[in-house]
Amino acid sequence: MFVVSVSLSKSVPRDADAVIVGLTQVSGTPALVDLPSALEKDLTKRWGTSPLAVALDLGAKTKSGSTVILPTAGGVRLVVVGLGDVDVTPEQVRRAVANGVRALARLEPASPLHVVVSLDLVEPEVIKGAAEGALLGAYTYTKVGSEPDELLRVVTVVSPSTKLEAKDAVTAAVAIAAGVNQTRDWINTPANILYPETFAAAAVATSKKAKLEVEVLDEKALAKAGYGGILAVGMGSERPPRLVRISYAPRGARNHLALIGKGITFDTGGINIKPGDSMYTMKCDMSGAATVISAIQVIAELGLKISVTVYAAMAENMPSGSAQRPSDVITMYGGTTVENYNSDAEGRLVMADALARAAEDKPDLLVDVATLTGACVVALGERTAGLMASDDQTADRLLDAAEAAGEAFWQLPITDEVGDQLISKVADLRSGGHRWGGALTAAAFLQRFTDGIDWAHLDIAGPAFNEKEPYDYVPSGGTGVAVRTLVALAQSLQG
């Protein structure tokens, strides 16, 4: 993966190709934020009027999302981005910088750019947001068989701060953006290239590079240990399932976080086959596994003082003569029997096995991440993920982490009555019920495998894959949602 150089500077370097500045309201009047005086004087002399006047004439607005590129002057492009209010948040800056970078990409530069961000940045979290915005906004997926087409070579964040916290913020931004973009790459990879065996191999390679302990259970090891849910889902495919376990245990860590990810590398729905249009994007059904694998690698790179264990349950859900059927009874890891009500509700089966195994490690907190239910998309739309938890305190921990990361989650309840849908006449549990409140029912099922440990379930079915045009720092295709939230969670739990 090409690595963009990111650094802090007190001034605009002379070799800059583009400078991103902000437009905001000051006492009701539009004003440019932190436009370097030397550059302003040079541009005013060249144009015969101020850069602000030129920007406004070209349609620049203070509204978030507005982006205008001023005509080339002396080889440097001035990118004016709307910042909204004067008191900007890290997320506003993250979005604004990303919009500026994407605007530069539309110009199709002949070579990678040196982009400078000059937005009067002082606070570490805002500096971090700016760097993340540049790196996330520049993301593109390299077509199969093609060479990468890189947009950025250097990002310089202008800041008067020389504190260690500011430099650490840049370091964190680089690591987090790399983790998000790795997740995006995995999600965007076609399912004939990324399937359980190759996905597990990729997890091993990247985890060993991060000096993490990693173990892979193949179909024989899964059968020996009794992982009935993962095996049942993978029964219909010629490509057998895998369970990847990755661990990070730094010296001095007091808390233990377990992360579980759904890794269905392609979901046809199995015997309960999906309509063709609904199947096209199902290479993204492994987003949860990609998210937790990337998250632990970022956590390790940042050296956070918390033990983390990841379980990524990987399978391909295909229809065939050997595929599982609705009404089959499956013996899960740990011995619980489950009546399968629908083979297109496969994610909860692989997740339940992984949750049961993770609970044996006795972590302080279990968090699972999955593109689990269409019902969650119906409830919350395509840009907000669902959060369900064992208790409100645990939910608040996740919501606080999501807010710090700038990601949108909304808490949904696990109501008492949804448990009635899990009653089976032939097994300990039924894996689901009717369509109403399907996201809640799925969460209630997963909770049965947490052994009473504090637990949160992140249903990212809506925001994990963007079928529409890019916006802010979100590309088309895989988005990498929840990586930043999990890293922020780990930071908050350091002992």
Task: Establish whether 348 is a catalytic residue.
Answer: yes
27 Cβ partners below 8 Å, 6+ apart? none
Helices (H), 189-237: 196-209, 219-225, 228-234
Q: What is the pLDDT of residue 34?
A: 87
Please name every residue paired with 246 in a beta bridge, in sequence order, or none if there are none: 214, 310
Q: What angle do CA 263, 365, 437 make, to 5 degrees?
A: 60
Spatial distance between the Cα atoms of 209 and 205, rounded to a whole number of angstroms: 6
Residues 358, 449 share a domain: yes
Task: Establish whether 163 is a catalytic residue.
Answer: no
Domain annotation covers residue 164: no
Domain annotation covers residue 179: no
Domain annotation covers residue 176: no
Residue with tokens 């913020």: 169
pLDDT in tens, 280-320: 999 999 999 999 999 999 999 999 999 999 999 999 999 99
Domain annotation covers residue 169: no
Q: Print the domain residue range for 428.
A: 185-492
Domain annotation covers residue 166: no
306 residue type, one letter: I
Residues 227, 103 share a domain: no
Domain annotation covers residue 173: no
Residues 400, 307 share a domain: yes
Residues 141, 209 share a domain: no
Domain annotation covers residue 170: no
For residue 482, which of 214, 207, 245, 298 has the smallest C-alpha distance? Answer: 298
Residues 132, 194 share a domain: no
Residues 191, 119 share a domain: no
Find the CATH number of the domain harbouring 27. Answer: 3.40.220.10
| Catalytic pick among 348, 357, 430, 484 | 348
Report how many domains make up the chain.
2
Residues 237, 109 share a domain: no
For residue 335, which of 360, 313, 299, 314 has the smallest C-alpha distance? Answer: 360
97 — phi, psi (to 5°)? -65, -40
Residues 228, 144 share a domain: no
Residues 359, 457 share a domain: yes
Entry pTM: 0.97
| Catalytic pick among 153, 274, 383, 448 | 274
pLDDT tens-digit profile, the chain (495 residues):
567 999 999 999 989 999 999 999 877 789 898 888 888 898 898 889 999 999 999 999 999 889 999 987 677 899 999 998 767 899 999 999 999 999 999 999 999 999 999 998 999 999 999 999 999 999 999 888 888 889 999 999 999 988 899 999 999 999 999 999 999 999 999 999 999 999 999 999 999 999 999 999 999 999 999 999 999 999 999 999 999 999 999 999 999 999 999 999 999 999 999 999 999 999 999 999 999 999 999 999 999 999 999 999 999 999 999 999 999 999 999 999 999 999 999 999 999 999 999 999 999 999 999 999 999 999 999 999 999 999 999 999 999 999 999 999 999 999 999 989 999 999 999 999 888 899 999 999 999 999 999 999 999 999 999 999 999 999 999 999 999 999 999 999 996
For residue 102, which of 73, 126, 121, 81 has the smallest C-alpha distance? Answer: 81
Find the CATH number of the domain harbouring 208. Answer: 3.40.630.10
Spatial distance between the Cα atoms of 380 and 373, rounded to a whole number of angstroms: 11
Residues 205, 104 share a domain: no
Residues 95, 207 share a domain: no
Residues 395, 262 share a domain: yes
> Across all residues in the chain, what is the average pLDDT?
95
Spatial distance between the Cα atoms of 416 and 251, rounded to a whole number of angstroms: 41
Domain annotation covers residue 148: yes
Q: What is the pLDDT of residue 433?
A: 86
